[in-house]
Amino acid sequence: MSMIDLSRYLPGIQAKARQLCRRKEFSPSEREDIEQELWLAVLQQAERFDPARASLDTFLDRVVSQGVAMLLRSRNRRKRGHGISPLSLENDYTPPGEELKPLSDTVSREDVARRLGTQSEDPIARLDQTEAIESVLARMPERLRDICLRLMTSTLASVARQLGVSRHQVRKAVERARPYFEQAGLELA
């Protein structure tokens, strides 16, 4: 595609830019910048045009609509971040008196837990829990231990299938195992 082929789409891009400038996120003085952004989106996607998949009009409409969506998304993201642009954790930085390192090195486990809404796990408590579970499993009859070990990594239905028994029988085994865990101060879900 060349610019001559695309020139008839200029009024459509201008109309989209005017529509965006009427929104509260944009000002009328940004119209020309928006037009340039939309033209840039068209030019970047021009090589992907396939006449077997859609007409040129449809292709350009989709590209311009996607460009508008990206502009809105970008503007809303900046608004949510109070004008602060996000940084990639792959970016490098140099702490005072140290060598260059990626920003990802600054993210702690507590940061990740806070971001994901989970609780950071104490490694010592985790080790204590693992030892308690191993102790409980060692005291169980072999068949019951086998079912419990399988349930640690599989669903109740898949364990029943693996063992060739009903789900009801697996549930009964869990109920027989429950006192072993409760005695050790552990709860079954």
Residue 112 resides in a domain: no
Q: What percent of the chain has pLDDT over 90?
A: 28
Please say which residue of 18, 50, 80 terminates a domain.
Answer: 80
pLDDT, tens digit (0-9, with 9 covering 90-100), for 120-171: 667 788 888 889 899 999 999 999 999 999 998 999 999 999 999 999 999 9
Coil, helix or strand at residue 152: coil
Joined tokens for residue 189 = 């879900």
Residue 59 resides in a domain: yes
Question: Do residue 10 and residue 74 come from a single domain?
Answer: yes
Question: Do residue 12 and residue 72 come from a single domain?
Answer: yes
Residue 111 resides in a domain: no
Mean pLDDT of 60-78: 85
In angstroms, rounded to a whole number, what is the distance separating the alpha carbons of residues 126 and 134? Answer: 12
The whole-number pLDDT of residue 166 equals 95
Domain containing 30 equals: 3-80
Question: Do residue 75 and residue 16 come from a single domain?
Answer: yes
At 172, the pLDDT band (50, 70, 90 cuts) reads very high
Residue 32 resides in a domain: yes
Structurally, how many domains does the chain consist of?
A: 2
Of 51-65, 87-101, 126-140, the one with minimum mean pLDDT is 87-101
Residue 66 resides in a domain: yes
CB atoms under 10 Å from CB of 61, counted, come to 15
Residue 89 resides in a domain: no
The whole-number pLDDT of residue 3 equals 45
Contact (Cβ atoms closer than 8 angstroms) between residue 37 and residue 17: no
Please say which residue of 46, 80, 114 terminates a domain.
Answer: 80
> Domain holding 129: CATH number?
1.10.10
Residue 86 resides in a domain: no
The whole-number pLDDT of residue 178 equals 92
Residue 94 resides in a domain: no
Of the two residues 53 and 115, the one the predictor is more confident about is 53
Please say which residue of 47, 80, 113 terminates a domain.
Answer: 80
In angstroms, rounded to a whole number, what is the distance separating the alpha carbons of residues 125 and 119? Answer: 13
Residue 55, pLDDT above cutoff 50: yes
Question: Do residue 76 and residue 132 come from a single domain?
Answer: no
